[in-house]
């Protein structure tokens, strides 16, 4: 596996930790609660410079600076800091997410949590790893034995009400519990290694799930949109699971 993504994620992680020990300034990106900090920007610059040095012809899609299109089959999809709100409030749950896609299909996914020093990575067809150890999804086969994760997009209207309704329905299925970590990339990786059995979120951007989706599927999991339709980078919402509870989740999500 080409190590560029891992190197870039670790370098970005160092930058994020440097800012974590200080009081960073946050700017709003639209809604007052959709934040960007100096750490997001500095981490993204670092990742982009490392990737461009090695692959100057590849395209890039990054959260903070948008798209840089080249005539190439390859595209790097980067979320320099997933969990900015957590980071800003010093809640210890955030990561760097870097993926490489070829013609719209995932090849490499790397998610690095610099605080816990947990490096999740996968390469298409080669399985998923957490700090060099192979990971697999859980064996749980019913909602009533599962721990689920969910996310709320930066939207406090219809989508939020829908999510809250879905939460209630899952509680009626007697799930063991539900968690909202504040990092979509970690939600997917935690499902990949069996800490969660499933995860859904009604609106996301490609950089939130580009890497985590490959880490999940290479660990034996499944990811579709919330209607159960086939994964695509542009689907914009996700239902992810250990595969065994996928149908049950999709049913509840669409009731
Ligand atoms: C956010 C996180 C969060 C999810 C939001 C994302 P950001 O990404 O992944 O868990 O609920 O929808 O936008 O803004 O921290 O990179
Ligand atoms: Ca994100
Ligand atoms: Ca981000």
Query: Does residue 111 share a domain with residue 27?
Result: yes
Separation of CA 87 and ligand 2 centre (Å): 12
Number of domains into which the chain is organized: 2
The CATH number given to whatever domain includes residue 205 is: 3.40.190.80
Query: Does residue 58 share a domain with residue 24?
Result: yes
Query: Does residue 157 share a domain with residue 67?
Result: no
Query: Does residue 128 share a domain with residue 26?
Result: yes
Separation of CA 189 and ligand 1 centre (Å): 14
Last-in-domain residue among 72, 100, 134: 134
- Cβ partners under 8 Å of residue 22, min gap 6: none
Residue 98 has pLDDT above 80, yes or no: yes
| DSSP-based three-state secondary structure for 147 | strand
**Nearest in space to 240 (alpha carbons), one of 127, 146, 156, 145:** 146
Does 204 sit in the ligand 1 pocket, CB within 6 Å? Answer: yes
Separation of CA 95 and ligand 2 centre (Å): 9
pLDDT per position as a tens digit, 51-90: 999 999 999 999 999 888 899 999 999 999 999 999 999 9
pLDDT score, position 209: 98
Does 106 sit in the ligand 1 pocket, CB within 6 Å? Answer: no
Does 40 sit in the ligand 1 pocket, CB within 6 Å? Answer: no
Provide mean pLDDT across the span 110-114.
98
The CATH number given to whatever domain includes residue 61 is: 3.30.540.10
Does 208 sit in the ligand 1 pocket, CB within 6 Å? Answer: yes
pLDDT per position as a tens digit, 11-28: 999 999 999 998 888 888
pLDDT per position as a tens digit, 195-231: 999 999 999 999 999 999 999 999 999 999 999 999 9
Atom 16 of ligand 1 has which residue's CA nearest to it?
82
Q: Which domain holds residue 83?
A: 2-134
pLDDT grade for 34, boundaries at 50, 70 and 90: confident
Do 26 and 34 contact (CB within 8 A), yes or no? no
By most ligand atoms within 8 Å of CB, the mutation choice from 40, 182, 191, 203 for ligand 1 is 182
Atom 12 of ligand 1 has which residue's CA nearest to it?
153
- Cβ partners under 8 Å of residue 42, min gap 6: 15, 19
Both structure tokens of 210: 């580009």
Cα distances (angstroms) measured from residue 95 to each of 11, 41, 92, 197: 12, 14, 10, 20
Q: Is the pTM of this model over 0.85?
A: yes
pLDDT score, position 207: 98
Q: 36 or 78, which is more confident?
A: 78
């Amino acid at each position: 596996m080409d190590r560029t993504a891992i190197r870039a994620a670790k370098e970005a992680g160092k930058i994020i930790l440097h800012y974590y020990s200080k009081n960073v300034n946050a700017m709003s990106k639209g809604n007052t609660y959709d934040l960007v900090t100096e750490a997001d920007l500095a981490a993204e610059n670092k990742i982009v410079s490392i990737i461009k040095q090695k692959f100057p012809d590849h395209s890039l899609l990054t959260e903070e600076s948008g798209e840089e299109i080249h005539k190439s089959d390859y595209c790097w999809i980067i979320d320099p800091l997933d969990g900015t709100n957590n980071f800003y409030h010093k809640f210890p749950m955030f990561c760097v997410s870097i993926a490489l896609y070829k013609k719209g299909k995932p090849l490499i996914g790397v998610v690095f949590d610099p605080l816990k020093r947990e490096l999740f990575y996968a390469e298409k067809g080669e399985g998923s790893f957490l700090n060099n150890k192979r990971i697999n999804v859980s064996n749980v086969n019913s909602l009533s034995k599962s721990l689920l994760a969910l996310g709320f997009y930066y939207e406090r209207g219809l989508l939020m009400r829908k999510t809250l309704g879905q939460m209630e329905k899952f509680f009626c299925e007697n799930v063991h519990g539900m968690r909202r970590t504040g990092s979509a990339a970690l939600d997917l990786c935690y499902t990949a290694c069996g800490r969660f059995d499933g995860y859904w979120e009604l609106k996301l951007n490609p950089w939130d799930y580009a890497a985590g989706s490959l880490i999940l599927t290479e660990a034996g999991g499944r990811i579709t949109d919330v209607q159960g339709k086939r994964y695509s980078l542009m689907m914009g919402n996700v239902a992810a699971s250990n595969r065994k509870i996928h149908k049950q989740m999709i049913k509840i999500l669409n009731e």
